Amino acid sequence: MTAHLRAEGLACSVGQRTVVRDVDLDIRPGETIGIVGPNGCGKSTLLRVLAGLRAPSAGHVLVGGVRLHRLGARRRAREVALVGQEQDLPSDLLAREVVELGLTPYRAPWNGTGPRERAAVAAALAAVELADLADRPVDQLSGGERRRVLLARGLAQQTPLLLLDEPTNHLDVRHQLHLMRLVRRLDRTVVLALHDLTLAATTCDRVLVLHEGRGLPLAPPCEALRPGVVGAVFGVDATPIRHPVTGDTHLLIAPLTPEHTP
């Protein structure tokens, strides 16, 4: 259940302003791709365009060879799920009812919930370690728990392409690692916007860096996040360090010059 995602000459605008342009993507089925860049560089806007929720101002998006923006809403929702950064949850719903909303694209109107649907919801909640809170109203959940309910809804949508906007926001360190491991194991193509460069480096197959309104070429983390690029894009010093146990490359971040030291 994975998708080949392509974007050619993609430009994304907010109102009349082009936020990001020249984005070319050729993402293989099953790849995990990170999008990084400073605040306001257009990560969320780009994800909304890749989800088909916002039209590109130039170029197009192909999912499995099909132009995404030409699909109807229901068909599109079977191809791609987006878990956005901040989403208000209806306060009178239980956690499992929110996750059930992920099944909407597959349901006939007014259809009830059968055993298959219930199993899919339970599996999605279990995947984010929330099985115990399935019957809790969402307004009685913590920020991190609500975030995981939304992730479970995205998983339940069972799309070949899954887009996650800052999925580790609000999550404690263990749940951050759990989520990233889960993402790696999914048999799906995943694109996620991340602020944590080490998570991007250790989890993603390739990384797209947004810089000065443009997408740099998609590249493996060690190349996309090399110190010169991180310095130019974020204005910080990044030193790659090999973790003594896992062997993963972490990025040690420091101010670029001593006078920037807080």
Ligand X SMILES: Nc1ncnc2c1ncn2[C@@H]1O[C@H](COP(=O)(O)OP(=O)(O)OP(=O)(O)O)[C@@H](O)[C@H]1O
Interacting residue ranges for ligand X, rule: CB under 6 A: 14-15, 19, 37, 39-45
Residues linked to residue 66 through DSSP beta bridges, in sequence order:
63
The least CB distance from residue 195 to ligand X, in Å, is 7
The least CB distance from residue 45 to ligand X, in Å, is 3
The least CB distance from residue 15 to ligand X, in Å, is 6
Compare residues 47 and 77 and give the one whose CB is closer to ligand X: 47
In Å, what is the CA distance from 78 to each residue of 14, 34, 129? 26, 22, 24
Phi, psi (deg, nearest 5) at residue 182? -60, -45
Measured in whole angstroms, how far is the alpha carbon of residue 141 from the centre of its chain?
Answer: 22
Compare residues 117 and 196 and give the one whose CB is closer to ligand X: 196
Compare residues 18 and 158 and give the one whose CB is closer to ligand X: 18
Cβ–Cβ < 8 Å for 130, 144: no
Check the CA dihedral 43-49-54-59 and report its sign.
positive
Beta strands 17-27 and 5-14, pairing class: antiparallel
Distance CA 231, CA 220 (A): 17
The least CB distance from residue 193 to ligand X, in Å, is 6
Distance CA 156, CA 78 (A): 11
The least CB distance from residue 187 to ligand X, in Å, is 27
Compare residues 84 and 105 and give the one whose CB is closer to ligand X: 84
Cβ–Cβ < 8 Å for 140, 196: no
Compare residues 16 and 91 and give the one whose CB is closer to ligand X: 16
Measured in whole angstroms, how far is the alpha carbon of residue 51 from the centre of its chain?
Answer: 10
The least CB distance from residue 9 to ligand X, in Å, is 19
Compare residues 50 and 133 and give the one whose CB is closer to ligand X: 50
Phi-psi region of 257 (alpha: psi -120 to 50; beta: other; left: phi over 0): beta
